[in-house]
Amino acid sequence: MSKRDYYEVLGVARNASDEDLKKAYRRCAMKHHPDRNPGDAAAEAAFKECKEAYEVLSDASKRRMYDAHGHAAFEHGMGGGGGGQQGYADINDIFGDIFGNIFGGGGAGARGPRRGADVGIIVELDLEEAVAGLDKRIEVPTMAACAPCKGTGSEDGKVETCTTCQGRGQVRFQRGIFSMQQPCPDCGGRGQKLSNPCKVCRGAGRVEEEKVLSVKIPSGVDTGDRIRLTGEGEAGPAGAPAGDLYVEIRVREHDIFQRDGDDLHCEVPIRFSQAALGDVVRVPTLGGEAEIRIPAETQTGRVFRLREKGVKSVRSRGTGDLYCRVVVETPVNLTSQQRELLQQFEATFSGEGARRHSPRSSTFIDGVRSFWERMTS
């Protein structure tokens, strides 16, 4: 199969400038890149075709030969071929900001040692603390910059540029059609070498330390929320920037309230006499006490809503509600007088008239009776 014209592959005119070629190659490679078209053989072939075309046309001498002789210029060893290392430096320049280290991570951002590692810590709070917010003192075991050498790793402050990576901290190598980068093996990605390492940190520029910080916890946080403290993670090697500290919030279970987003839920126990006759009961809230008016003949499970007695989270503008679920409590430790009064009360539930005083019980009994009749018929 004959090769397509390189200008046609990139979709440019024969008098296209270097900038036009670069833009055209970027469009073509992004469209057909294997990472964007996994398993697509046609896309992979098109990607290689784009790369080959750009390698030739971006090189002034190869472009002159191609313009004069076409593809024949690179056959039978003429011109050195189009598949060598020449084009990869330009590829890095084009795609350093798009594909990162896939093409070698070009650009100044890849130079020098990497920043320190990020650190994560879990902070447990009571519900009241999470809702109100507070300044929390935390202790974080981390790697801090060595004080004697000021994080340089050098005893006398003198450093030498690494000759292997020329101070870039990265070395480039070829893998298939890709040019890759990795930290320099001689300097560990620092870009510098130490002739007189610090005796305290042994040239690392970092020492283990327990850092004490005061973290401002905003009001309304909930379990799973994270707070980022920039630059409070591990110190970078040999003076590189520090990583970040991530504080993850976990709210302990509360004895009374259960949180659901901005809303709070609780159970309110009442005596059966209060449920039957009605009453006003006081319930706790995070801001103090509030009153609920219990109507007569209230059953277990009825929910009362107290507006804006919940939580105002960090993500919402309004305050949630408090939902109070009534639970009718059976009395215990009865006195003889109470027992006698209950027996007298129970004696009133006799005959057909008793059904109207216990509608749910009557419905249940009727349902059981109907069930057994169907089973035995």
Exposure of 305 in the CB half-sphere (CA atoms within 13 A): 5
Q: What is the DSSP secondary-structure string of 174-238?
A: EETTEEEEEE-TTTTTSSEE-SSB-TTTTTSSEEEEEEEEEEEEPTT--TT-EEEETT-SPPPGG
Question: Distance between CA atoms of 40 and 31, rounded to whole angstroms?
Answer: 12
Burial of 108 (0-12, 13-18, 19+ CB in 10 A): exposed
Q: Which regions of the chain carry the CATH code 2.60.260.20?
A: 111-147+204-252, 258-329
Residue 35's identity, in one-letter code, is: D
Among 322, 183, 305, smallest CA distance to 240 is for 183
Task: Decide: 140 and 121 in contact? Cβ < 8 Å.
Answer: yes
Tokens of residue 205, six digits:
């520029």
Tokens of residue 81, six digits:
């071929």
Q: 111-147+204-252 maps to which CATH number?
A: 2.60.260.20
Task: Decide: 304 and 285 in contact? Cβ < 8 Å.
Answer: no
The pLDDT, as a whole number, for residue 277 is 94
At the second CATH level, the architecture of 6-110 is Orthogonal Bundle (1.10)
DSSP state of 177: T
Q: How many residues does the chain have?
A: 377
Q: Which regions of the chain carry the CATH code 1.10.287.110?
A: 6-110
H helix and E strand count, the chain: 9, 15
The pLDDT, as a whole number, for residue 203 is 78
Among 142, 111, 143, smallest CA distance to 237 is for 143
Task: Decide: 271 and 331 in contact? Cβ < 8 Å.
Answer: yes
Angle subtended at Cα 191 by Cα 188 and Cα 193, rounded to the nearest 5 degrees: 75
CATH T-level fold of 258-329: HSP40/DNAj peptide-binding domain (2.60.260)
Question: Distance between CA atoms of 138 and 247, rounded to whole angstroms?
Answer: 10
- Residue 19, SS3 per DSSP: helix
The pLDDT, as a whole number, for residue 239 is 63
- Residue 300, SS3 per DSSP: coil
The pLDDT, as a whole number, for residue 175 is 67
Task: Decide: 143 and 207 in contact? Cβ < 8 Å.
Answer: yes
What is the full per-residue pLDDT of the chain (377 aa) written as tens digits?
567 889 888 998 888 888 888 888 888 887 887 767 777 888 888 888 988 888 889 888 888 888 877 877 666 444 444 443 333 334 444 444 344 433 434 443 444 456 788 888 899 999 999 999 999 999 888 888 888 887 777 888 777 888 888 777 788 877 666 777 777 877 767 777 777 888 888 777 778 888 899 999 999 999 999 999 998 888 877 667 888 999 999 999 999 999 999 999 999 999 999 999 999 999 999 989 999 999 999 999 999 999 999 998 888 788 999 999 999 999 999 999 999 999 998 888 876 666 677 666 655 556 666 666 666 76
The pLDDT, as a whole number, for residue 255 is 94
Residue 300's identity, in one-letter code, is: T
Alpha-carbon 372 to chain mean position: 57
Task: Decide: 192 and 198 in contact? Cβ < 8 Å.
Answer: no
Among 305, 300, 302, smallest CA distance to 328 is for 300
Question: Distance between CA atoms of 85 and 51, rounded to whole angstroms?
Answer: 12
| Cα four-point dihedral sign 63, 64, 65, 69 | positive
| Cα four-point dihedral sign 287, 288, 293, 297 | positive
Angle subtended at Cα 61 by Cα 55 and Cα 67, rounded to the nearest 5 degrees: 85
- The CB-based long-range contact list for 171-175 (8 Å cut-off, 24+ gap) reads 172/104, 174/85, 174/88
Tokens of residue 164, six digits:
């292997």
Tokens of residue 315, six digits:
């993500």
Question: Distance between CA atoms of 37 and 57, rounded to whole angstroms?
Answer: 25
Task: Decide: 238 and 190 in contact? Cβ < 8 Å.
Answer: yes
Among 338, 115, 328, 56, smallest CA distance to 237 is for 115
Question: Distance between CA atoms of 322 and 319, rounded to whole angstroms?
Answer: 10
Phi-psi region of 312 (alpha: psi -120 to 50; beta: other; left: phi over 0): beta
